[in-house]
Structure 1
Amino acid sequence: MSNRVRKIISDKIGQIRGMSLRAKSARAAMTLGVGTSVERGLRLVRNMILARILAPDQFGLMAIVMVAVSVFEAFTEVGVKQSVIQNKQGADPEYLNVAWWFQAIRGLGLFGIAFFLAPWISSFYDKPELLRLLRVSFLAMVFRGLVSPRMFVLEKEYKFGRAVLLTQGSGIFGTLVAVVLAFMMRNVWALVAGSVAEFAFMCVLSYLLVPFKPTLKIHRGYLSELFGFTRGMFGLPILTMVSLKTDALLLGKLVPAVQLGMYTLAYGLAEQPAWLFHQIIGRILLPAFAEDQDNNQILRSRVRKIAKATFVFGVPLVALAAIWAGPLLSLIYGRRYTTVAMPFRILCVTMFVRIQAQILVTIYLAIGKPHLYRRIAAVLAILVVCLMYPGIRLFGLEGAAGVLLLSNTVALCMQVIWMRGTIGLRFQNYAFFWRRGTTP
């Protein structure tokens, strides 16, 4: 028996060491899993500490700041990272040079616009203290725009070791800065400083690990290709931002900052599985799907297999979170946070739906047709915008969470229906994947 076990282990190790897509994906998953788990674990510990040091209204202020940053970034997001990964020539230095100028000009221009509009945002929420918080937080956009574009190539080529060090390492640095300053300052400035420090550290570290020197020579062919990809992406980040941030945007205006702060922490906890999926599995799926972007049969098979796996593991987690919502929130954040147990339950289900949608979204990007994703993002954004205000007015925090669940569920169903025209995936095959198996 022991010889048989050793043989099985030896075979599995041999498979992981290979150069096949499965082997590269397995190695990437292991690397991302370790790095992301450590980083998210520290962020959770950070929130556990800060929830006991800072008043809930401080988290409410930070939520408004992050929404403002997201709005500005969404209006100028061009999908540089996705274009580098998807384009077959994305690792070419001349292509990366075009990408660098794209993101650098965007980041600097965005900061200038946001800096001068900060007083209007502060006035809209009737919170004068937001002005300086916003202007300092907007520096993160500059640092994100100046990172070395070679860090995107790491994911394209499955070199996730350094990619994890860059992204998760920067996250850990920002987390430590926030915790240390929270003990010293005991206000929202600790959160702002941690956020800016994270991206400043990422910018510097990117040039140390994957150096890049931009030039003034622009390759016209690559510029045209990048423009073509960004045209497909146009409007998509705005629609995505609307569907993800409308709840916080309106809650910041309609409910006290204390309630928004509690909702924000509950949302962050419920989002953990979806975030981990996006950072670990999602980052592997894009290059994996892109390698077989011309083979619909393989894409269909992989979609069903991944969807089935997420269903098998996700449903029990959602059920446990719903049953133990109150004790879980009390343990992590403190007893006063049990008041948001019901929104937390609803948000947990919503995040499971988002994971299923993320699988299909990656298909659109992998085959170089982000405009198809824009269609479903528009449906989701319209539903959220139309329902969120009355939902909050009638049911408060529970209404906000409920609108997100309803909107995401409807959008996922439509996404599956439309996927038939993209890769030939039938709705009935996808809907009953756990019973029908994974046969193409």
Structure 2
Amino acid sequence: MRSWIQAFFTGDSLKMRAMRGSMITFLGFGGTQVLRLAGNLVLTRLLVPEYFGLMTIVQVVTTAVQMFSDTGVHVSIMQSKRGDDPLFLDTAWVVQILRGALLWVIVTALSGPAAAFYDQPELAALLPVASVGLLICGFRSTKMATAGRHLALGRVTLIELSTQAICLVILALLAFWLRSVWALLIGGLVGQALNTLASHLFLPGHANRFRLERAAFGEQFNFGKFIFLSSTLGFLLNQGDRAILGKFVSMSELGIYNIGFFLATVPLMLTRQFGDRILIPLYREKPPSAGAENRVKIRKARLGLTGAMLVLSLFLAIAGDWLIRLLYTEAYHEAGPILVLLALSGMPFIISNAYTGLYLAAGRSRDLTLQLSFTAAVQMIVLYTGVKAFGLLGAAIAPAIVAMISYPVTVYFARRNKGWDPGLDGGLALAALLGAGAVMLWIHPEIVSRL
């Protein structure tokens, strides 16, 4: 036992690095969510739901521009054979900075049209200031990506938690003093600046310099051109509900929806964290196409990670309404039904999300782009139709409908990459269906009527 513990903390095998990475990712993400929840509880007692709705639109616009221009720098460093080459890293850093500056300009230019589209004049002033954060993040060190490449996530996690804790204290003080949406905006900028500074000062690795190599740029561009498209589609998948809701519901309703969304999507967000930090390196070093032994290892990793996230989703669905009533003031209680339904309807995406790492580890970002194209198109149709007809209820149940329609396309591309596992997918889906049925039939049969 003692030798196993020592190997766990010091071993350099892929298994031990993956296990350490899983533990650190879980603890780091858990710590992040605890801090976010604590900050949320304080801020919702100082600020009205309308301010959270406005910030949701600000985040939708800035995230849209950011993802519509994603060059895949982080993933490129993790995937490339030159991922540890200083010149390759410097080229990635320069491209990242130039992109941040361009995003700053674009968001500022879009602030007026966005204010008019959502009929919220405040956005014309909020968005140009918020876009400064995109410029700040452009200077973030590539040491972050290098740490992810080698599953050395301890310091990265510590930096993220420390900067977030400081940011939340600043946010609470600003909210108490200003009592306006500007407290949320300024606090967010401070957090981005602290994180960027810490990435240079407290991580080991190559110190970035302003250098640009044509070959490195060419490799990153060729890899990133499909990442750009898949990120654009990723925005539609991850932010499309709030982008559409902002047009059809009030800012107060959107703020309440965002509270439920924040809690309900914790399992899916954690699944994506595991995918980026654990499954991509695992797929890269143990590709399932190389033999049955690799497929068994991938299956065990997926079963442990995905199974845990499905259990977490069911817990949130069972206890979600009670948690909202316990933790939040009455003004936010309608987030309870949203939390329950979103936790249930997000489970199919948790099951299929693992295949993203399969494509990226093999350098086949084109397959991911084509798969996401179909899924995004389906989601926008389902969301628009559902929100227009049923409002918040339509947005809450849309993920499950979209996941079921798009799964055959996921299967097609997973089979092309020799990584589809029908037995595991089927078993997890059956467990999720039985759990969701129990929640809706016996625990929360009245939940739909409250929306």
What CA distance in whole angstroms lies between the structure 1 residues aligned with 2:167 and 2:107? Answer: 22
What CA distance in whole angstroms lies between the structure 1 residues aligned with 2:281 and 2:202? Answer: 21
**Residue of structure 1 aligned with 2:60, choices 56, 60, 67:** 67
Deviates more, 1:234-243 or 1:288-297: 288-297
**Residue of structure 1 aligned with 2:38, choices 45, 49, 52:** 45
Give TM-score, length-normalised by structure 1.
0.91
Aligned partner of 1:197: which letter?
V
What CA distance in whole angstroms lies between the structure 1 residues aligned with 2:401 and 2:187? Answer: 34
Q: CA deviation at 1:166?
A: 3.1
In the alignment, structure 1 residue 226 sits paired with structure 2 residue 224: no
1:271-282, aligned counterparts within 5 Å? 271-280=265-274, 282=276
Q: Please give the secondary structure, in 2, of the residue aligned with 1:327.
A: helix
Structure 2 partner of 1:438:
none
Aligned partner of 2:45: which letter?
R
Q: Unaligned stretches of 5+ in structure 2? A: 431-451
Give TM-score, length-normalised by structure 2.
0.88
Q: Please give the secondary structure, in 2, of the residue aligned with 1:147.
A: coil
**Residue of structure 2 aligned with 1:18, choices 8, 11, 23:** 11
Q: C-alpha offsets along residues 294-348 of structure 1, whole Å, 9 cap, x if unaligned?
A: 6354553344223322454344433332233321111122234332333222210
CA contact (8 A) 1:303 1:360 kept: no
What CA distance in whole angstroms lies between the structure 1 residues aligned with 2:401 and 2:93? Answer: 39
Deviates more, 1:36-45 or 1:296-305: 296-305
Percent of counterpart pairs with the same letter?
Answer: 28
Structure 2 partner of 1:262:
256
CA contact (8 A) 2:379 2:398 kept: yes
Deviates more, 1:81-90 or 1:112-121: 112-121
Q: CA deviation at 1:397?
A: 0.3
Aligned partner of 1:142: which letter?
L
What CA distance in whole angstroms lies between the structure 1 residues aligned with 2:315 and 2:122? Answer: 40
Distance 1:197-1:15 versus aligned 2 partners, 3 A rule: closer
Q: C-alpha offsets along residues 139-177 of structure 1, whole Å, 9 cap, x if unaligned?
A: 111011111112211111222122113333333332222
What CA distance in whole angstroms lies between the structure 2 residues aligned with 1:316 and 1:34? Answer: 17
CA contact (8 A) 1:376 1:415 kept: yes
Deviates more, 1:110-119 or 1:402-411: 402-411
Aligned partner of 1:388: which letter?
L
Cα-Cα RMSD: 2.2
Structure 2 partner of 1:309:
304
Q: CA deviation at 1:214?
A: 1.7
What CA distance in whole angstroms lies between the structure 1 residues aligned with 2:173 and 2:408? Answer: 45
CA contact (8 A) 2:307 2:428 kept: no
Q: C-alpha offsets along residues 162-194 of structure 1, whole Å, 9 cap, x if unaligned?
A: 211333333333222212211111221111112
Aligned partner of 1:33: which letter?
F
What CA distance in whole angstroms lies between the structure 1 residues aligned with 2:64 and 2:262? Answer: 19
**Residue of structure 1 aligned with 2:381, choices 373, 377, 386:** 386
Deviates more, 1:116-125 or 1:8-17: 8-17
Structure 2 partner of 1:353:
348
CA contact (8 A) 1:300 1:425 kept: no
What CA distance in whole angstroms lies between the structure 2 residues aligned with 1:248 and 1:66? Answer: 10
Query: When the two structures are aligned, how many residues end up with a matched partner?
Result: 427
In the alignment, structure 1 residue 113 sits paired with structure 2 residue 103: no
Q: CA deviation at 1:25?
A: 1.7
In the alignment, structure 1 residue 285 sits paired with structure 2 residue 279: yes
Structure 2 partner of 1:149:
142
Deviates more, 1:185-194 or 1:271-280: 271-280
1:315-354, aligned counterparts within 5 Å? 315-354=310-349
